[in-house]
Amino acid sequence: MLTNTHALVSAGLLSRRSHTSREIFAVWLGGLFPDLSVFVMVGYARLAPPRDGLWTAPLGLYWQEPWQTLSAISNSMPLYLTLILLGFIATRRGEGPAVWGKLVMLVAAGALLHTLADFPVHTDDAHVHLWPFSQWRFHSPISYWQRENHGDVVSAIEAIAGLALALSLIVRFKSWRVRLAAIACVVPYLISLGVLFQAIHA
């Protein structure tokens, strides 16, 4: 799934109007976090363009170290489940630890939602989701972007769901920060629709 959709899923499912601004930020951060290693990699590639490109397996930069290990860590379901547990324990340890414990839980829960949403829509680009216990990857027959693996259908469903979640956040929250973030997350869908419209009428 697109990173903006992950952010909207996390915010839409986990954020509450009763949350503090820090807690809302934690929810959004969690939805984004598993993809942060990719953004760091892309930034690095701009400074030192890789000879074999970014994404083409097996020589593209994405498939090399340390990026594969960083991706495995940032997409680890056991890691986020552990952090949720540790955060919950902290919430039982007094007022100070409870504040940070809740923030850890929200970030980890958002990140876990991200990995769960990615699990069924990655084919040959599947992540390692069980680090550090296993390097196993689930190669789904469905892709969120590859046309030969139903990518057109999945991306359309994703865009509809993302737009609905963004609208829900705009209606539910009066905070201009939340509304602005939701609107910003809609932009990639609009760009995709524009590209599709041009392709149809080319």
- What would the mean pLDDT of 87-100 be, rounded to a whole number? 90
Residue 193 has pLDDT above 90, yes or no: no
Which residue range is the domain that position 48 belongs to?
Answer: 3-200
Identify the DSSP state of 189: H
Question: Quick one: what percent of the chain has pLDDT higher than 70?
Answer: 96
Rounded to 10 deg, the angle between the 176-200 and 3-14 helix axes is: 140
Rounded to 10 deg, the angle between the 77-91 and 95-118 helix axes is: 160
Residue 123 has pLDDT above 80, yes or no: yes
In the chain, the number of structural domains is 1
Residue 198's pLDDT is what? 60
107 — phi, psi (to 5°)? -60, -45
Whole-angstrom distance, CA of residue 115 vs CA of residue 75:
6
Find out whether 113 and 75 touch, Cβ atoms under 8 Å: no
Predicted confidence band of residue 191 (pLDDT cuts 50, 70, 90): confident
pTM: 0.92
Residue 56 has pLDDT above 90, yes or no: no
Residue 57's pLDDT is what? 85
Whole-angstrom distance, CA of residue 47 vs CA of residue 96:
41
